[in-house]
Structure 1
Amino acid sequence: MKVMIVEDEMLLAMELESEVEAAGHAVVGMASSSAQVPDIVRDGGLEFAFVDIHLQDGPTGIEVGRMLSGKGIPYIFVSGNIKKLPPDFAGALGAIEKPYTMNGMANALAYIDAVVSGDEGRLPPASLVLAQDVGYRASGR
């Protein structure tokens, strides 16, 4: 999968990048603010994104998520406070709460890869909180 990471804490972004690459995926872009996201999306080929709620330019991650959802790009939130998510999860597949373990992230990434590839029969790991009102489906929605 070609993955974008939207995270303003550089250490966490680099840690997540390492985990994504160790799982055999490619990080095609990293953004620390919402303003950087459109350029990465425009470059094309993006298949999935991890999005933090609070970025360098404020709590703009939800807006980033809505934009990704509008373009049909599946994503999950990675946040220290998932209670701040709107009830519809802004179109996200789900959320992973910080702090997360590397094992929890690896399990979530395997599940996400399966769902994005069309394997919807897989059970989600405990580390991933699924959106109750919105469900991304590989078929387009």
Structure 2
Amino acid sequence: MPLRVLIVEDEMLLALDLEDMLLDAGHDVVGQASDMGQALAIADKLDGQFDVAIMDVNLARGTNGIDTAAALRERWNVPSLFVSGNLDELTRDRAMQWKPIGFVGKPYSEREVLSSLVAVPPVL
């Protein structure tokens, strides 16, 4: 079943690559954000009606993916898949309290990202 996905990534080329990968796999991309403010604005506009956020840890304008994932989980119960080059033990421990669906390190393969999304229940 196709998922509705929000991409939260501050590197435009990586965000576009993720979008292509998701669209090719049959998923819907509800938006792209490069920082926490943009991500929350998109989520608010959609009233949280999407299935998952693919979340980088380090975002633009001094924001971070863990705080963004926390806000998405608290306000709309939307889980995140962390896709980052910064997934050390401390970062993973901080992120775990927000019940992410998983962690994928950069550089990643299409298979890694798509197989991690299989565990996401779609919003009905």
Q: Above 0.5 in TM-score?
A: yes
Percent identity between the two aligned chains: 36
Task: Work out the CA distance in 1 between the residues paired with 2:103 and 2:61.
Answer: 21
What is the aligned counterpart of 2:108 among 100, 108, 117?
100
How far residue 108 of structure 1 moved from its aligned partner, in angstroms, is: 2.2
SS of equivalent residue, structure 1 residue 53: coil
How far residue 80 of structure 1 moved from its aligned partner, in angstroms, is: 0.1
Letter in 2 for 1:29: G
Which structure 2 residue ranges, 5 or more long, are not aligned?
Answer: none
- After TM superposition, the score normalised by the length of structure 2 is 0.83
Residues 101, 86 of structure 1: alpha-carbon distance in 2 compared, 3 angstrom cutoff: closer
What is the aligned counterpart of 2:33 among 21, 31, 34?
31
Give the helix-richer structure, 1 or 2: 2
What is the aligned counterpart of 1:80 among 69, 74, 85?
85
| Aligned counterparts, 1:55-66, within 5 A | 55-66=59-70
SS of equivalent residue, structure 2 residue 10: coil
Indicate the structure whose relative CO is greater, using CA pairs within 8 Å and at least 6 residues apart.
2
Contact preservation (8 Å) 2:54, 2:82:
yes
Aligned length: 115
